[in-house]
């Protein structure tokens, strides 16, 4: 982990791997074969938006409840809409897209503007064994500055450290929120993820 000294670790280092770890859904959420009620359907749609939730769980869930939930009320949930623990794909995608659009009318997630390039690292680590991807989670403040970096997936410890240091120099467009159409977008902090690859020698 890396962070700027003034940063509150409890706010920037978050487990965003699942909606349950974000506190959005309970750990026991699962769908059984057959039909679903409206509450279960909403949870399934939230689950399908997991990547968007990772960028700022509190804001996205608030906007879901305020603007997206009403877009799901006309879904036809009669019959067996669940198979193998999943909502029927056509139904899921239709309402996932509706919910996504309702949220995106009020929210822009952080966007990577300039990523990592030209990383140098020791020749001794350019091996098949050490090759791989380092997946990083970055907290981006309301100015677009990375102020904390956490490793989600790594390879060799030295390469992990090199990747984390490189990530501190990336530039981002921060997240933005607006209350209504025509109102100004206001910057908000959030999270972004980015992989750094260390390829195997040819």
* Predicted confidence (pLDDT) at residue 179 exceeds the cutoff of 90: no
Q: List the beta strands (DSSP E) in 4-85.
A: 82-83
What percentage of residues in the chain have a pLDDT greater than 90?
A: 75
Residue 75 belongs to domain spanning: 31-107
Tokens of 37: 């009620």
Residue 70 lies in a domain: yes
Of 47, 76, 107, which one is at a domain's C-terminal end?
107
How many Å apart are CA 61 and CA 77, to the nearest integer? 23
How many Å apart are CA 113 and CA 170, to the nearest integer? 8
Q: What is the pLDDT of residue 100?
A: 98
Indicate whether 122 and 194 sit together in one domain. yes
Indicate whether 59 and 117 sit together in one domain. no
Of 107, 142, 164, which one is at a domain's C-terminal end?
107
Q: How confident is the model at residue 142 (pLDDT cuts 50, 70, 90)?
A: very high
| CB-CB contact of 176 with 187 (8 Å) | yes
| Of 175, 167, 171, nearest in space to 136 by CA | 167
Residue 16 lies in a domain: no
* Predicted confidence (pLDDT) at residue 28 exceeds the cutoff of 80: no
Please compute the mean of the pLDDT values over residues 63-77 and round it to a whole number: 95
Q: How confident is the model at residue 33 (pLDDT cuts 50, 70, 90)?
A: low
91 vs 84, more confident: 91
| Of 131, 120, 125, 143, nearest in space to 190 by CA | 143
Q: How confident is the model at residue 30 (pLDDT cuts 50, 70, 90)?
A: confident
CATH of the domain at 119: 3.30.1150
| CB-CB contact of 111 with 173 (8 Å) | yes
Indicate whether 117 and 193 sit together in one domain. yes
Indicate whether 126 and 177 sit together in one domain. yes
* Predicted confidence (pLDDT) at residue 85 exceeds the cutoff of 70: yes
Residue 126 lies in a domain: yes
How many Å apart are CA 48 and CA 46, to the nearest integer? 5
Indicate whether 72 and 147 sit together in one domain. no
Number of independent structural domains in the chain: 2
Indicate whether 77 and 91 sit together in one domain. yes
Q: List the beta strands (DSSP E) in the chain.
A: 2-3, 82-83, 86-87, 107-108, 111-114, 132-140, 146-153, 171-173, 175-177, 186-188, 190-198
Global pTM reads 0.89
The number of residues in the chain equals 202
Residue 11 lies in a domain: no
Residue 23 lies in a domain: no
Among 32-36, 84-88, 115-119, 153-157, where is mean pLDDT lowest? 32-36
Q: What is the mean pLDDT of the chain?
A: 92
Of 91, 107, 123, which one is at a domain's C-terminal end?
107
Indicate whether 75 and 153 sit together in one domain. no
């Amino acid at each position: 982990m890396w962070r700027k000294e003034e940063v509150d670790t409890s706010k920037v280092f978050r487990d965003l791997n699942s909606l349950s770890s974000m506190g959005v859904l309970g750990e026991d959420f699962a769908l059984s074969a057959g039909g679903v009620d409206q509450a279960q359907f909403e949870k399934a749609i939230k689950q399908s938006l997991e990547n968007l939730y990772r960028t700022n769980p509190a804001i996205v869930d608030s906007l879901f409840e305020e603007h997206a939930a009403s877009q799901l009320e006309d879904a036809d949930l009669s019959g067996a809409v669940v198979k193998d623990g999943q909502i029927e794909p056509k139904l899921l995608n239709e309402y996932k897209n509706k919910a996504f659009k309702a949220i995106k009318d009020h929210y822009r997630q952080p966007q990577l503007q300039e990523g990592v390039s030209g990383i140098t690292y020791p020749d001794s680590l350019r091996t098949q064994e050490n090759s791989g991807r380092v997946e990083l989670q970055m907290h981006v403040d309301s100015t677009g500055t990375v102020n904390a970096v956490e490793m989600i997936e790594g390879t060799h410890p030295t390469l992990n450290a090199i990747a984390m240091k490189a990530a501190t120099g990336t530039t981002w467009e921060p997240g933005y929120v607006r209350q209504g159409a025509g109102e100004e977008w206001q910057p908000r902090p959030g999270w972004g993820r980015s992989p750094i690859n260390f390829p195997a020698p040819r």
